[in-house]
Chain A
């Protein structure tokens, strides 16, 4: 599968996390990717946490763009613009945003190539002229409203997840169009927006309200979820099944016969009470020990891993998920073929 897009040339003229992630997925599977950056470099070069080497681009930029070629375009210069256009005209896939339209007219390319516009908001919409960011999209999607404590302001989450969602959405869009091109011989124009991608991540908020005029809040998670502090770290428990195993795990057999938890319906209604009992029990264990006890009994429980935990993880080592090369770090495959093709 690493050669799926062998022979496919991609121009990434987006300058965004979404576009860069889409192109990364294409490159990971064999495409030849050329980034077209403005003079001074893509803004993504400066985003994210600082890296270990002063001379490096940011870890975010390297994570997204390792293995791609880069050319720069000076939009004020005719020769430079024409050169960049020629590269785009030869590509099978062109990813672009509003900024690239200063030197690129995507429409004529679409007869042969797949041309995908990746932007924060649809071009013609009520959000025209809006500026997006991760928090802005999480707020619009509904996910922020339900994240956090009811006693505090809602939390947007972490990182750039709305933009990564748009990146995968763009990849799905582009690859489906490439597949269709095999039979039709024709390219087409496509688009993905961060607004729609992040809204599509938001469970069934639209449907719940449409069905019965209710909506979720931060007051209570609609499932048997507990966040528990062990002696050394936090764990998260989701108690959908195997309540007997859960009681064994926490060494609280009395819960099995407690009428407040005797069947799934009353257990769900009284889960906050169960959580208090489990919290007291969890404090007697180390997190790894409790997770091991639970997983042996098919209980869905995991330690809240820090980055340091992940870097020490035997699971990630066995899977080759953290790759070190000359002081630089990269991650293993996003998904993989089990049988060599």
Chain B
């Protein structure tokens, strides 16, 4: 038996639209787990296969990770069960720890494949095949199976085998080169934004294949090349460049169609309010709010073109007004007057946002080793078959026995043999 006390009971009543769909999940870190987290949110049963040798990097190592990932900054005895990175992206999943290089482990996956709908991995191209778990092998077991691979780059080109991480993929897909302060140095997004882009498109691909299977009766092998999917999000810039348009030159927060359009300092340290003015009505409203109606017809600012040309002067005027004021209060006031504005929020602001709590975006979950905390939700809202964040992320190997005995119907003896051989693990290798 697993040494984990109180193995949690997987939910029995799931109301999401994907209730009845079963997913075998080999993904790790952020992009792949966000895909399967989305499917779990929508009601699918997601069985996460974890390696005890190369643990999901978002669990950290057996010895811990950066302190700011842990409850009260304390890694604890089993830090891999308390890591906020992992626990954010893996709620509502089951964890089975298999060493796929040990005899018998692949047979567990083959048995799961018989009743599963989807197998998903974010290994490099070809790894799933080398493990004997590729589409050809699994579809021979279950012709309705769908396999989804999420490499950084698509197969068949010179970059196929490039090692990609969120930040480097963002550079490769063209986004980073479009961001900066105007001094020529590119500025990447402050989080690995490519990962959730890949995560969303992974879920979209799975659902498309599930719909397609209703038509064809058979599964298929899908490739979600993360850099290619992300390129669509700046597709207009790529198309414009291909058609001879002038290339976009990054210059802080300035954009083609609005001025002022920037973040302005507020009361406190590193506190800012974002203000965006797209038309003359908004400009007049802004001037009224800051008590500078005389600026409306000032030749430097009277037209959108003039405002665009004189943004440095605008920054001084608006910054002088926002400085010393509360960022949320300024944003509220401007929005009431019809001027797009928002506080530039940090993690504390978002966690403390009553509005997000009221609309049900934040969920409170009890994790047996991490404690009771709030977690962010997802944006899929269905009235009749709602998805939800229901259960905390699994501890490492928490559902070994449940999946092997109850889902697969293995005998107790067979399960113990798998444990004895090292195919099934209850704790990560040190």
Q: Which positions in A face B, CB cutoff 8 Å? A: 1, 3-6, 25, 29, 47-53, 58-60, 62-63, 110, 122, 125-127, 129-133, 135-150, 152-161, 164-166, 168-169, 171-173, 175-180, 182, 186, 188-193, 196-197, 199-218, 221-223, 225, 227, 229, 234-238, 240, 268, 295, 298-311, 314-319, 321-322, 324, 327-339, 341
Tell whether B156 is near chain A: CB-to-CB under 8 Å.
Answer: yes
Chain A at the B interface: SS class: mixed
- The segment out of B92-100, B105-113, B164-172 that lies at the interface is B164-172
> A200 to B379, Cβ gap below 8 A?
yes
* Chain B residues near A133 (CB-CB < 8 A): 258, 276, 278, 340
Q: Are A308 and B204 in contact (CB under 8 A)?
A: no
9 smallest CB-CB distances across A and B, nearest first, come from A215-B347, A52-B243, A146-B190, A307-B241, A318-B157, A180-B17, A126-B355, A60-B236, A147-B190
B residues near A201, Cβ cutoff 8 Å:
191, 193, 196-197
Chain A nearest CB from B327 CB (Å) reads 9
Do the beta carbons of A203 and B242 come within 8 Å of each other? Answer: no
> Chain B nearest CB: distance from A205 CB in Å?
4
17 A-B pairs whose Cβ atoms sit less than 8 Å apart in the complex:
A3-B212, A143-B190, A145-B272, A153-B263, A161-B233, A168-B200, A173-B382, A197-B379, A200-B196, A208-B69, A210-B351, A213-B348, A236-B167, A295-B161, A304-B176, A324-B242, A338-B135
Residue of A nearest to B247 (CB): A307
With contact pairs A147-B190, A157-B189, A315-B159 given, residues A215 and B348 touching in the complex (Cβ less than 8 Å): yes
Give the interface size bracket for B toward A. 35 or more
How far, in angstroms, from A180 to B28 measured CA to CA in the complex?
A: 28
Partner of A180 from B203, B240, B385 at Cβ < 8 Å:
B385
Instruction: Write the B199-234 contact mask toward A (1 if CB under 8 angstroms, else 0).
Output: 011011101111110111010111111001101111
Q: Which residues of the other chain, B, contact A215 by a CB distance below 8 angstroms?
A: 346-348
Q: Flag if B262 contacts A337 (CB, 8 Å).
A: no
Question: How far is A227 from B69 in the complex, measured between Cα atoms in Å?
Answer: 24
Distance to closest chain B CB from A22 (angstroms)? 10
Which residues of A sit under 8 angstroms from B190, Cβ to Cβ? Answer: 143-148, 216, 218, 221
**Assembly CA distance A327 to B370 (angstroms):** 57
Stretch at the interface among B80-88, B286-294, B413-421: B80-88
Known contacts A59-B239, A139-B344, A196-B377; is-contact A222 B193 (Cβ 8 Å): no
Contact B373 A335 (CB under 8 A): no
Residue of A144, A203, A206, A225 near B263 (CB, 8 A) is A144
- Is the pair A206, B362 in contact by a Cβ cutoff of 8 Å? yes
Q: Are A136 and B70 in contact (CB under 8 A)?
A: no
Check B347–A310 contact: CB distance below 8 A: no
Considering the complex, give the chain A residue whose CB is closest to the CB of B44.
A176
Distance (whole angstroms) from the CB of B227 to the closest CB of chain A: 9
**Do residues B243 and A63 form an inter-chain contact, with CB atoms below 8 A?**
no
Pairwise interchain contact B185-A136, C-beta atoms closer than 8 A: no
Is there a chain A Cβ closer than 8 Å to B261's Cβ? yes
